[in-house]
Every structure is written in C-alpha cells, then in structure tokens.
C-alpha cells in the first residue's frame, strides 16, 4: 500500500510539471508573438514617420518663394524636420519614441499647413499685384501714346498756326507795281515835267509806281522812303537815316501816302542834291518799314 501511494504522488507531480510546462510554453509563445507583432508595428510606424517627414522636406524644396521672410520660415521648418528625420533613422525605435515623434509630426503638420497656406496667399497676392502692375503699365503706355498723340497734334497746330501767321503777315505786306523812273531836266510853271537822259542836264529823278489794294492793311498814312544809288553805290541826295531795330536806311526822299485800301498811283520828284551826277546807272529802291517793296534802274548817258 505504501508503495502505491508513492507512485501516485510521483505521477501527480509529473503531471503537474507537464501542465505547468505546457502553460508556461503557451504563455512564452504568446508573449513572443505579441512582442514580435509590436516590433513589426513599431518598425512600420517608424517607416511611416520617416516617409512623411521626407515628403514634407521634398514639398519645401519644390516651393518657389519670393518673400525673404517666408523663405526664412520655410528654411527653419525644413531644418527642424531634417533633425527629427535623422533622429528617427539613427535611434532604435520603441513605443515611447514613436509616440514622441508622432506628437512632433502632428505639430509639424500644423506648422506645414500654416506655411503652405501663407505661401498660397502670398502667391495669390503676388499674382494679383502682377496683374495690377500690368494694368498700370498698360494704362501708362496708353497715357504715353495719348500724350504723344496730343504732342503731335499740338505740334501740327503750332506749325499750322505759324503758317497762318506767316501767310497773314505776307498778306498784310504792302505791294507795289508799275515802277518807272526817269531823269528830269526841269519842271515848268504849268507843272509839266521835262525828262532827260543826259546826266549833266538831270536835276531830279521822277519816280512813279502803283500801290496795290490790300484789304488786310489798315487804312491811314503810310511813310514811303526812296533811295537812289549811283554806280558806285553812293546814296544820292542823302536826307538822313531811319532806323528799324538793328537795321537802318539812308534815304533820298520820303513820301507820306494816305492809304484807303484802294489802288493808288504815286509819283514823287527826288532832287539830286548839291553833288554833281556822273554818267552811268542809277538804282532807285522803294521802302516801307525797312522792307524793300521794289526798285528799278535808269541809265544816264
């Protein structure tokens, strides 16, 4: 009986040990499987974190930002992401680190979204400013074209005005025709003029012309000056000098005519003066306000 009882006890102990070993093995296997699954999960999470950080860096590198302030902000954020990415790659990941990096990644996503939104806003504003600048440039170009057109028109008007003024001045000029000059021997008591072509017998010059009608001229007295030059260009019968600004005229005779906008026949006698005449040509010119109206030449033999 004692032997049987011991055998039973041995069997009971062995059975208990087997059960314990089985249970312990099951628990160990379960724990190993759980640890393995957790490790795979952590590695996947680490890979996802690295991938997302890399994508964020790439997105920054593809941005073309004109603003210096925004470019500085993006560069600082990019540097921060690079530091975190290097840490993730170098350190052996665990649940705690993954949670930490996930939290940092969440903040970076938020910061990234803000920066990208700011970039979009600035790009939109920049586009709008470019459009406004283009419109202003077009308006300026149109204004310049308009001003240039006005200048051209104004220049044309000025030129036309000058032409009109010049034509008017020409129209207002005094004109004469039918100029005739002869040497005079004497004038009889009956006012008959005796002409001569002999220089020794010539005592006067008889000059006649027609003052042409001009409706643009004012009515009134006109001073007409006569100048007689001998063949040596000496003034015959010098009566004095009349000045017209920077020019002057030595004249031989003066006649005042009452002009009434009609053709007027004018004749005058010019005394030869105390000097003796000589054989040759004599040049007779008629002036008004310093301008030569016409002239003729006679020859005394």
Taking the C-alpha atoms of residue 159 and residue 165, their distance in angstroms, rounded to an integer, is 10
> In this structure, are residues 237 and 227 in contact, taking their beta carbons and an 8 Å threshold?
no
Q: Which pair of structure tokens corresponds to residue 109? A: 């996503």
pLDDT for residue 197 = 94
> In this structure, are residues 300 and 183 in contact, taking their beta carbons and an 8 Å threshold?
yes
pLDDT for residue 1 = 46
Q: Tell if the pTM clears 0.85, that is, is over it.
A: no
Q: Which pair of structure tokens corresponds to residue 26? A: 């099951």
Which residue shows structure tokens 């100029």? 179
pLDDT for residue 101 = 63
Q: pLDDT tens string for the chain (301 positions)?
A: 445 666 666 666 776 776 766 666 655 555 555 555 556 666 666 666 767 777 776 666 666 666 666 667 667 776 777 777 676 666 665 656 666 666 766 676 677 677 667 666 766 777 777 788 788 788 778 877 877 787 887 777 777 777 667 666 666 688 999 999 999 999 998 889 999 999 999 999 999 999 998 888 888 999 999 999 999 999 999 999 999 888 899 999 999 999 988 899 999 999 998 888 999 999 999 999 999 999 999 999 9
pLDDT for residue 45 = 67
Q: Which helix (H) or strand (E) holds 102?
A: helix 95-171
Q: Which of 213, 216, 210 is nearest to 171 (CA)?
A: 216
Q: Which helix (H) or strand (E) holds 294?
A: strand 291-300
């Amino acid at each position: 009986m004692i032997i049987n009882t011991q055998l039973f006890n041995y069997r009971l102990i062995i059975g208990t040990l087997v059960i314990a070993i089985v249970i312990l093995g099951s628990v160990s296997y379960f724990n190993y499987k759980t640890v393995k699954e957790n490790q795979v999960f952590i590695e996947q999470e680490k890979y996802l974190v690295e991938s997302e950080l890399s994508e964020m860096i790439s997105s920054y590198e593809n941005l073309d930002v004109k603003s210096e302030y925004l470019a500085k902000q993006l560069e600082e954020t990019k540097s921060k992401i690079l530091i975190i990415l290097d840490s993730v790659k170098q350190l052996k990941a665990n649940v705690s680190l993954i949670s930490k990096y996930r939290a940092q990644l969440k903040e970076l996503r938020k910061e990234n979204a803000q920066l990208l939104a700011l970039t979009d806003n600035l790009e939109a504003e920049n586009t709008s400013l470019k459009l406004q600048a283009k419109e202003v440039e077009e308006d300026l170009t149109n204004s310049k074209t308009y001003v240039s057109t006005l200048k051209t028109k104004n220049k044309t008007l000025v030129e036309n005005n000058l032409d009109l003024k010049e034509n008017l001045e020409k129209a207002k000029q005094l004109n004469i025709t039918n100029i005739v000059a002869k040497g005079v021997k004497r004038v009889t008591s009956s006012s008959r003029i005796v002409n001569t072509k002999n220089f020794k017998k010539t005592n006067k010059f008889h000059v006649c012309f027609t003052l042409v009608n001009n409706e643009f001229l004012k009515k009134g007295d006109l001073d007409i000056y006569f100048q007689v030059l001998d063949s040596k260009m000496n003034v015959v019968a010098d009566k004095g000098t009349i000045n017209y600004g920077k020019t002057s005229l030595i004249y031989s005779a003066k006649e005042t005519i009452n002009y009434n906008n009609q053709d007027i026949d004018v004749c005058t006698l010019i005394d030869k003066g105390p000097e003796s005449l000589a054989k040759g040509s004599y040049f007779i010119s008629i002036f008004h306000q310093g301008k030569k109206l016409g002239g003729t030449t006679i020859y005394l033999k």
